[in-house]
């Protein structure tokens, strides 16, 4: 069996809100991994699905679509 993709808290929060769909975007800048598991790491050119249409408290929630590179 293939390993399960890693999930950030950002994607799990969006999914818990019933926001499994979303709009896919290609990253134009990188956001490196950090010690904060809430922040979603991705590289320039990666596909990220934005799970909510408008920011909440200044934040968007998303899922890193590593298989769509």
Domain ranges of the chain: 24-68
- Name the region of 24 (left: φ>0; alpha: ψ -120 to 50; beta: rest): beta
Indicate whether this model's pTM tops 0.95.
no
Give the sign of the dihedral formed by CA 47, CA 63, CA 21, CA 28: negative
How far apart (Å, rounded) are the C-alpha atoms in residues 13 and 46?
20
Query: Can you give the pLDDT of all 69 residues of the chain as single tens digits?
Result: 445 455 555 545 555 555 556 899 999 999 999 999 889 999 999 999 999 989 999 998 999 987 555
pLDDT of 38: 87
CATH topology of domain 24-68: SH3 type barrels. (2.30.30)
């Amino acid at each position: 069996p293939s390993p399960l993709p890693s999930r950030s808290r950002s994607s799990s929060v969006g999914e818990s809100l019933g926001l499994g769909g979303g709009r896919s975007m290609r990253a134009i800048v990188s956001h490196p991994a950090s010690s904060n598991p809430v922040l979603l790491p991705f590289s320039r050119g990666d596909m990220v699905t934005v799970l909510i249409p408008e920011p909440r408290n200044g934040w968007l929630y998303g899922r890193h679509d590593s298989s769509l590179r």
